[in-house]
Amino acid sequence: MVEGSGRKMPCVLAFLAVAELVAASTANLSDAVARYDAQEYAGAYPLFRELAQAGEPEALYYLGLMHIMGQGVRRDPQIGVRWLKQSAEGGFTDAASTLGNVYASGLGVPMDSAEAMRWLELASSLAESEGREADCD
């Protein structure tokens, strides 16, 4: 046995385990989004919750939307805004854009143009870093 070669196996196994978790997370997110798009909110919600607990920004975004719109859950814009903030702070452009629009329109929160501008500027900055334009409509 070559010296040090015994250490490579645990590293390879750890890498494979992480890769498997990432693939499973992506599959679960795809499934959750598909259920959401099909308006199967009762099936989407627990999947998004599980992914949100793992810190998935897109799942946080969808939970925010569901609470703001009352999709499969009791409508509670304040809870929705909390989820959206976590998502936007995690770098999810659509969440920052949505927050900007929520504050600009006063949808479940006091209308606040300064707060709206802050989130829309973040959305623009995130979109620029991704090489795309923010959808701030």
| DSSP per-residue codes, 8-45 | HHHHHHHHHHHHHHHHHHHHHHHHHHHHHHTT-HHHHH
Supply the pLDDT for residue 131.
Answer: 75
CATH assignment, 7-130: 1.25.40.10
Q: Say which residues have a Cβ less than 8 Å from residue 137's Cβ, sequence separation at least 6.
A: 101
* pTM metric for this prediction: 0.77
Supply the pLDDT for residue 8.
Answer: 57
Burial zone of 7 (CB within 10 Å; 0-12 exposed, 13-18 middle, 19+ buried): exposed
Residue ranges of alpha helices (H) inside 38-112 are 41-53, 57-69, 77-89, 93-105
Q: Which two tokens stand for residue 89?
A: 């702070």
Supply the pLDDT for residue 133.
Answer: 62
The per-residue pLDDT string of the chain (137 residues; one tens digit each, 9 = 90 and over) reads 444 555 555 544 454 444 444 444 555 999 999 999 999 999 999 999 999 999 999 999 999 999 999 999 999 999 999 999 999 999 999 999 999 999 999 988 999 999 999 999 999 999 998 776 655 55
Count other Cβ atoms within 10 Å, centred on residue 15. Answer: 10
Q: How does 114-137 read in b/e, with b if 16+ C-beta sit within 10 Å? A: ebbeebbebbbebbeeeeeebebe
